[in-house]
A and B are shown apart, each in its own frame.
Chain A
Amino acid sequence: MFGALFFWLCATIAFFFGIGVVVARNPMHSALSLVATLTATAGLFLLLQAEFIAWILIVVYTGAVMVLMIFVISLLNLQKDDPIDWNPARRWGVGMVVLFALVFLVYLFRDPLAGFFSIPQAPPTPPEWGSITVVALDLFTRYLLPFELASVLLTAAVIGAVAIARPESPERETKER
């Protein structure tokens, strides 16, 4: 009962702030809406008993990544209106997406009692399911190679980000000095 209540609470928050991300004129409002959506999604992760991932999502995403995003928005000082662009190609794209979503929903709800609401029960899980112990055990034994590759990827991303964001043509800077 509490689970259902918590699910609908998180789902509603995630949905409405997700709309906020897309329609907000000011990028800063978009970023703050995304923070709210991600926090609500972390609540859904908790409901799926993925505790470690939920906290990681809050720490890494709403903590680090979104701060970086907000920092860039402030740095570029983007306050101007950025209206939604409704040219014909875009209208077609949006129409396709909405149509797809509608077909999907109709498919899901076509036979509510048999299809959607007769749900397989979640299997009972051991108490340590989703804890950092279990995830780390998998991560450092069976999936050691992907883990190491992820660290290589992060290093490459850091170097790449510095190389890309560096000011244009350092020769000119040295000439000016």
Chain B
Amino acid sequence: MIGLNHFLLMSAVLFSLGMLGVLLRRNALIILMSVELMLNAANLAILAFSRFPPAANGLMTAQDLSVAGNGMVLVFLVLTVSAAEVGVGLAVVIHLYHQRRTVNINDANILQG
């Protein structure tokens, strides 16, 4: 039987992988992709909590269920925001490449004092 904890564990694993990617890789594109992985893990956690609300003892009213279903609206908005983030992020990467001929973020130290 698959329950809330399975989904939360999967979410935590995916989030850790994304975090490792951000910490380990120096390629700006791969860092962007790792951020996507983390956002996706967060979405998975939100949807899991929306499907398994805290008062899930068989005493759910229709009202409770409709409130829990609002998690999907939140995920929808998160997806919108992350799409916007990818657009701007890729623009920044392209600009960086035009300026420095590299996407390695260790070479992007223009603002360093």
> Which residues on A are within 8 Å of B, measured CB to CB?
3-4, 7, 11, 14-15, 18-19, 21-22, 24, 27, 30-31, 34, 37-38, 41, 44-45, 47-50, 52-53, 56-57, 60-61, 64-65, 68-69, 72-73, 75-76, 78, 82, 84-85, 90, 93-94, 97, 100-101, 104-105, 108, 116-117, 119-123, 125-126, 129-130, 134-135, 138-139, 142-143, 146-147, 150, 153-154, 156-158, 160-162, 164-165, 167-168
Contacts and interface: CB of A to CB of B under 8 A. Distances in A.
Main SS of the interface on chain B? helix
Contacts of A160: 88, 91
7 residue pairs, one from A and one from B, having the closest CB atoms: A119-B3, A157-B84, A165-B91, A161-B91, A22-B21, A164-B91, A18-B17
A171 to B, nearest CB: 16
Nearest to B53: A123
Contacts of B80: 150, 153-154
Interface of B: 1-7, 9-10, 12-14, 16-21, 23-27, 29-30, 32-34, 36-37, 40, 43-44, 47-48, 50-53, 56-58, 60, 62, 65-66, 69-70, 72-73, 75-77, 79-88, 90-95, 97-99, 103-104, 106
A68 B98 CA distance: 18
A7 B1 CA distance: 10
